[in-house]
Amino acid sequence: MLGPRPLVLAIAVASACAHSNPHLAGEDRLTGIDFEGNQQLNDKTLLSGLALHRVLTRNGAADPYLVQLDADRIRGEYMRRGYLDVDVRSRVERKGDDAVVTYTVEEGPRAVTRVVIRGLPADFPVDRVREALHLKDGEPFDYDTYDLAKPQLLGVAQDQGYAHATLEANVVADRAGHRAIVRLIYTPGPKCTFGKIEITGVTGELAEAVRNRVEFAQGQPYSTQAIVQTQRNLYGFGRFSTVQVQPDKSGGDVVGVQIAVAESARHEVKLGGGFGMDPLSYEIRGRAGYSVAGWPFPLDTVSLDLRPAYALQRNGDSAEPRIRALAKLERKDLFWTYTKAAVEAGYNYLTVEAYTSFGPLARLGFETRLGSERLLLRVGWGIEQVDFRNINGVIDQDANLKKTLGIDHNERNGSYQQSLILDLRNHPIEPTLGGYAELHTTEGTKYAGSSYRYFEVIPDLRGYVPLPLVNGAVLAAHAKFGAIYGDVPATERFFSGGTNSQRGFAERKLAPSRTGDPDPTDDKAESITVPYGGAGMIDTSIEARVPLTTIKAMPLGAAIFLDGGDVTETPGQLDPMNLHWALGAGLRLMTIVGPVRLDFGYRLNRTRVMPDEDAPSPGSHWAYHLTIGEAF
């Protein structure tokens, strides 16, 4: 039978869940909720969890049961933060039919943590338990930190081979000593090993691929971490819709494991599109793709990809079609596990400011881990035959420039490529912590089938750290360098400016350019600037990303950024002390397809043509960009 206090609380909970009645004549109307004495938790934090807050928004009455219930809630919020001596009193002040509820808080000192661990075997590393708890002796206590750590605390014991371990965890309040004593009492049970491993759902090469991704073997010490990592490996394989890795603990100190997988749909069709704009052009992009997995062999995937795009200049002078068609055969686990090999063939038709290029291409690629999923090596060979047409009149008038760019003849570019990638980000799309580093090199040589001899190097660094003052805010930084030595193929030249680089410029407009009259015979023709790219590039940015609010459950955030960059004719002309700088801000709306981003950039320097330099987009200070995805 419920006692008086539980009965009161039960009635209060029922009252909180029910809809408040509209205000009736002669009944108190709640018009405000005030707080006194709260120093560590602000009014907004305390108000957000109160039942009376919802009553206030509905113009309801000051229910006395909810007043008491919310006092307990405030007390509980403080105790979760370690304020064990907190006292909360309430009073209701009435003026006519209006009522204001005031909560007076006496916070008291914050309790410090003391951790007591019992029951661990002699060979068990106690330090691992303390590391998993994230609360050290003498530090301020926080209940949420303790609560989130409890599953990991049990996992620490199971990772040491104690599959049957149990944990009794609780917090004892020592109010006299202002301490929160965290008691962790382990019952480890016998030390276990892995037993028989059974795989169901696939056979043949797929079953072998599953077995090669298992992080444990029969006879090894039991570990829950190995089970979790195995499940991650199998999902990362990309061929299974469901993965279950179930240990069977009924066998005492030998734990068998059953791995059940179900293949994903073999056939997949992708249709998509997008829209982008900047100060100079609009671009519409489309995508159509088809893939079939497990053909012609179980570890193979064949895919077809078509990506058309159409860019329209705002002044109406030209339209730029862009088409890429690609067929690819990909095989996983070639030679050894966690490798990927690909053969590609396709055709490109690309219209840019200076010319239209078109022609077939072929590629071979190979990717493998280097001891860790965080470190990847990619190597490849590619060759493409490129023809040029529709050369812009500004470029076409200068025979020497056409020859320098290599667009006065057909181009055959064969090259070897290598990339070394270290990815330490906590999320590949929306990282909030970690770093990313990539070193990409390309060698154009006659042995690769090329008419050009060149060496290209592109190091790329990115870093992400949380900002301490705002929950969810991130400081992101990016630095990229590019250089081409030797011959410079027209299709390899660097461009900057746009949504993913220097946002003070329109797309591709930060680059060596030629300004002139595209048609000297037309007296009404206006002078235009045509970028053709360079062999040296610096691109850098620092950006603060801050969450703001939500719009229909979609997070809305803001960003403030400083972008710097330059593209020059040769790498030797790059001057890190004389970059183009732009300051800007933008909005990000997180949707199911990724962050929709609107950025405004304002150029801070080098906006006028000086006697000794050629400034891209002279006189233009502003640029704006609408796209999907973060800048880096």
Q: Are 186 and 161 in contact (CB under 8 A)?
A: no
- Other CB atoms within a 10 A radius of the CB of residue 593 amount to 10
Structure tokens belonging to residue 465: 């750290």
Q: Indicate the SS3 state at residue 233.
A: helix
pLDDT tens, 215-273? 999 999 999 999 999 999 999 999 999 999 999 988 889 999 999 999 999 999 999 88
Domain spanning 112-187, CATH class: alpha beta
Rg of the chain, C-alpha, whole Å: 32
Domain spanning 267-628, CATH class: mainly beta
Q: Indicate the length of the chain as a whole number.
A: 632
pLDDT of 115 above 90: yes
How sure is the predictor about 280, in pLDDT bands with cuts at 50, 70 and 90? low
- Other CB atoms within a 10 A radius of the CB of residue 493 amount to 23
Q: What is the DSSP string of 169-218?
A: EEEEEETTTTEEEEEEEEE--S--EEEEEEEES--HHHHHHHHHT-S--T
According to CATH, what is the number of the domain 4-106? Answer: 3.10.20.310
Output b/e per residue, 45-70; b: 16+ Cβ within 10 A: ebbeebbbeebbeeebbbbebbbebb
pLDDT tens, 364-392? 999 999 988 899 999 999 999 999 988 88
Identity (one letter) of the amino acid at 131?
A: E
Q: What is the DSSP code (8-state) at residue 446?
A: G
pLDDT of 565 above 80: yes
Strands (DSSP E) contained in 371-432 are: 375-389, 411-423
Quote the CA–CA distance of 593 and 628 in Å, as a whole number. Answer: 8
Do β-strands 528-531 and 454-466 pair in parallel, antiparallel, or remain unpaired? Answer: unpaired
Q: Give the pLDDT confidence score for residue 315 in this predicted structure.
A: 56
How sure is the predictor about 4, in pLDDT bands with cuts at 50, 70 and 90? very low
Quote the CA–CA distance of 539 and 545 in Å, as a whole number. Answer: 19
Q: Are 458 and 419 in contact (CB under 8 A)?
A: no
Half-sphere exposure of residue 54: CA atoms within 13 angstroms, side-chain side = 12
pLDDT tens, 448-499? 999 999 999 999 999 999 998 788 899 999 999 999 999 999 999 999 998 8
Of residues 611 and 142, more confidence is placed in: 142
Q: Give the pLDDT confidence score for residue 11 in this predicted structure.
A: 33
From the list 548, 552, 556, 566, the residue with the least C-alpha distance to 598 is 556
Q: Are 316 and 492 in contact (CB under 8 A)?
A: no
- Given CATH 3.10.20.310, say whether it is the number of domain 193-263: yes
Quote the CA–CA distance of 561 and 555 in Å, as a whole number. Answer: 19
How sure is the predictor about 96, in pLDDT bands with cuts at 50, 70 and 90? confident
Q: Are 180 and 169 in contact (CB under 8 A)?
A: no
Q: Where are the alpha helices (DSSP H) in 22-86?
A: 43-48, 51-57, 64-80
Q: Give the pLDDT confidence score for residue 608 in this predicted structure.
A: 65
pLDDT tens, 187-196? 999 999 999 9
Q: Give the pLDDT confidence score for residue 16 in this predicted structure.
A: 41
Q: Give the pLDDT confidence score for residue 528 in this predicted structure.
A: 81
pTM for the model stands at 0.78
Does an H or E element contain 597, and which?
strand 594-603
Q: Where are the domains of the chain?
A: 4-106, 112-187, 193-263, 267-628
Q: Do domains 4-106 and 193-263 have the same CATH topology?
A: yes
